[in-house]
C-alpha cells in the first residue's frame, strides 16, 4: 500500500511539474512584451543617392544588397538615382537622433525616415564616419520612442539577442539568435573592426538596424553579413554599442570624427613571444615601432614594451589598441598601462593629428620621407663593384614616389656627388634647397631622377 501511495504521489508531482512548466515556458521565452516596447524605435531609411558612373553604381550595389529604384538618364546608360534602403535606431527622443550605417546614407541627396506607424519624415544628416561605418541623422517629430544603449562590454558568447530591421524593405522584421563570437576583426569590412558576430538572421536592408539584448537594450548596430548570395546563412556582424556610442557623440558634437594618432606599430602576443618576453599570458600587444616625433616617442614608449591597457581598458591584442585610439579625437589624453622587462609602468600621451605628424616628419626629411633605405654593396657583372644606398620601400604619394624612385633602385650619386652610404646621402640632401638630383642604378641600366620638395 505504501508503495502505491508513493507512486501516486510521485505521479501527481510529475504531472504538476509538467503543467507548471507548460504555463511558465511561454512567459519566459516570449519576446513579444519586450519587442512591443522597442519596435517603435526601429525605423526604415530610404536614401536617394546621385550616381555619376558605373563604378559608383557597382560599388553601391555590392554594399547595399542591390536594392535599387533607378530612373534612366536619356543621355546615358548610367542611372541618375540609386535608392538605398536600410534601417535606423532612435536613440534620443528629445533631439530626434537616429543611429544608422554610414554606407546607407553616404552621398545621399535626400533621406526619408519612416516610423513603424507609417509616418514619414525628412532626415537631416548630422554626420557620418566611413572608417567605422557609423552615421547620425535627425528628424523633427513628437512622441518618439528610443532604445536605451547598453554596455556592449558586458556581452558574452551565448547571450540571446534579437535583430530588428527592414530586410529587403520588409519593415520592422525581427529575428533572434545568440552571440556567436565577439571581437571579430581583420574581415576587411571596415577600417575599425570589433564586430559582434550573431546567428540572428541579417539580410540586405538590415544595415543600421538594432541588435538588442533580452532586456530590450541596444548592444549593436547591424552592419554586414558573410554570405555568398547576399542572403543570411547565420553569420552576421554588428558594430558594438560602445563603439557606436563613442562615434555618435563626436558626430553630434563636432559633425565629424577627427582621429588622433599615437604613432606606434604593434602586434599580437603569440605563445612564442610570450615565452620570449617572459610573460605569464598572451594578453596585450607588443610595440614593434615608435615613430619619430610621435606622441608615443614623446611619452617615452619603447620598442619591446607590452601595452596591457589604454585608458583603463584591458588590451587583449593589437586590434584593441587600433579601435580604442581610433575612437579618440586629436588632443585627447591617453593613459597607457604597459610592461617593460616585466615591470609595470604607466605613461601618458596626447594624441596628435596624423597629418600634422606627417607634415612634421616630412619637413624634417623632405626628400626621403616615407622611403626605406639600406647601405648596399654588390659585385655586379654589369656595373662592377657597387657601393651605394638601396631603396627598400617608397610610400605612395611621397615626394620620392612622385619622382619615380622605386624599391630596388640603388642610389649612386646625389647632386652629382658620390654617395657610399646613407650618411653621405643625407648630408648632400641637407644642403639642398628645392630639388635633389639622383643617379640610380635600375636593373641593368641607370637613370636620373629629380625629387622636389614641393609636389607639382
Catalytic residue flag (residue 207): yes
In what helix (H) or strand (E) does residue 412 lie, and over which residues does it extend? Answer: strand 410-414
Among 84, 87, 103, 150, the active-site one is 103
Among 150, 207, 232, 398, the active-site one is 207
Find residue 452's DSSP bridge partners.
435
| Alpha carbons 163 and 172: distance in angstroms, whole number | 10
Catalytic residue flag (residue 133): yes
- DSSP labels, 174-193: EEEEEEEEEEE--SSS-SS-
Characterize the bridge pairing of strands 134-138 and 195-198.
unpaired
Contacts of 232 (CB under 8 A, 6+ apart): 201, 202, 203, 225
Q: Could you tell me which of 120, 88, 117 has the C-alpha nearest to residue 103?
A: 88
CB crowding 321-350: b at 16 or more within 10 Å, else e:
bbbbbbbbeeebebebbbbeeeeebebebe
- Do residues 122 and 112 touch, judged by C-beta distance below 8 A? yes
C-alpha cell at 369: 620621407
Query: In Å, what is the CA distance from 284 to each residue of 182, 292, 328, 337?
Result: 17, 23, 20, 10
- Do residues 350 and 332 touch, judged by C-beta distance below 8 A? yes
Among 48, 133, 320, 424, the active-site one is 133
Report phi then psi at 305, rounded to 5. -65, 145
Active site residues: 103, 133, 207
Amino acid at each position: 500500500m505504501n508503495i502505491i501511495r508513493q507512486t501516486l504521489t510521485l505521479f501527481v508531482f510529475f504531472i504538476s511539474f509538467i503543467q507548471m512548466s507548460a504555463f511558465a515556458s511561454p512567459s519566459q521565452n516570449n519576446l513579444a512584451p519586450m519587442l512591443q516596447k522597442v519596435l517603435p524605435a526601429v525605423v526604415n531609411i530610404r536614401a536617394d543617392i546621385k550616381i555619376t558612373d558605373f563604378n559608383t553604381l557597382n560599388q553601391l550595389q555590392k554594399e547595399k544588397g542591390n536594392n535599387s529604384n533607378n530612373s534612366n538618364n536619356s543621355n546615358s546608360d548610367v542611372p541618375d538615382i540609386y535608392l538605398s534602403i536600410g534601417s535606423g535606431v532612435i536613440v534620443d527622443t528629445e533631439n530626434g537622433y537616429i543611429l544608422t550605417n554610414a554606407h546607407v546614407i553616404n552621398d545621399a541627396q535626400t533621406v526619408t525616415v519612416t516610423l513603424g506607424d507609417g509616418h514619414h519624415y525628412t532626415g537631416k544628416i548630422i554626420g557620418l564616419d566611413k572608417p567605422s561605418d557609423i552615421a547620425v541623422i535627425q528628424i523633427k517629430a513628437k512622441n518618439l520612442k528610443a532604445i536605451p544603449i547598453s554596455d556592449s562590454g558586458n556581452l558574452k558568447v551565448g547571450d540571446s539577442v534579437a535583430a530588428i530591421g527592414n530586410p529587403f524593405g520588409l519593415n520592422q522584421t525581427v529575428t533572434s539568435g545568440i552571440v556567436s563570437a565577439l571581437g571579430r576583426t581583420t574581415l576587411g569590412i571596415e577600417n575599425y573592426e570589433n564586430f559582434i558576430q550573431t546567428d540572428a538572421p541579417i539580410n540586405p536592408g538590415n544595415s543600421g538596424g538594432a541588435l538588442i539584448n533580452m532586456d530590450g537594450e541596444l548592444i549593436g548596430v547591424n552592419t554586414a553579413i558573410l554570405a555568398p548570395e547576399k542572403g543570411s546563412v547565420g553569420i552576421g556582424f554588428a558594430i558594438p554599442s560602445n563603439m557606436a556610442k563613442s562615434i555618435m557623440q563626436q558626430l553630434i558634437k563636432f559633425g565629424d570624427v577627427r582621429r588622433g594618432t599615437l604613432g606606434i606599430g604593434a602586434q599580437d602576443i603569440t605563445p612564442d613571444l610570450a615565452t620570449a618576453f617572459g610573460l605569464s599570458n598572451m594578453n596585450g600587444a607588443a610595440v614593434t615601432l615608435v615613430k619619430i616625433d610621435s606622441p608615443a616617442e614623446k611619452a617615452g614608449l619603447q620598442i619591446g614594451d607590452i601595452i596591457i591597457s589604454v585608458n583603463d581598458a584591458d588590451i587583449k591584442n593589437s586590434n584593441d589598441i587600433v579601435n580604442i585610439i581610433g575612437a579618440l579625437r586629436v588632443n585627447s589624453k591617453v593613459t597607457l598601462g604597459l610592461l617593460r622587462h616585466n615591470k609595470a609602468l604607466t605613461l601618458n600621451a596626447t594624441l596628435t593629428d596624423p597629418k600634422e605628424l606627417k607634415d612634421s616628419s616630412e619637413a624634417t626629411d623632405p626628400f626621403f620621407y616615407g622611403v626605406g633605405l639600406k647601405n648596399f654593396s654588390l659585385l655586379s657583372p654589369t656595373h662592377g663593384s657597387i657601393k651605394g644606398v638601396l631603396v627598400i620601400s617608397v610610400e605612395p604619394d611621397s615626394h620620392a614616389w612622385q619622382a619615380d624612385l622605386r624599391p630596388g633602385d640603388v642610389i649612386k650619386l646625389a647632386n652629382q656627388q658620390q654617395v657610399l652610404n646613407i650618411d653621405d646621402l643625407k648630408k648632400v640632401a641637407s644642403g639642398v634647397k628645392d630639388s635633389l638630383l639622383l643617379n640610380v642604378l635600375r636593373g641593368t641600366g641607370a637613370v636620373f631622377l629629380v625629387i622636389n620638395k614641393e609636389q607639382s
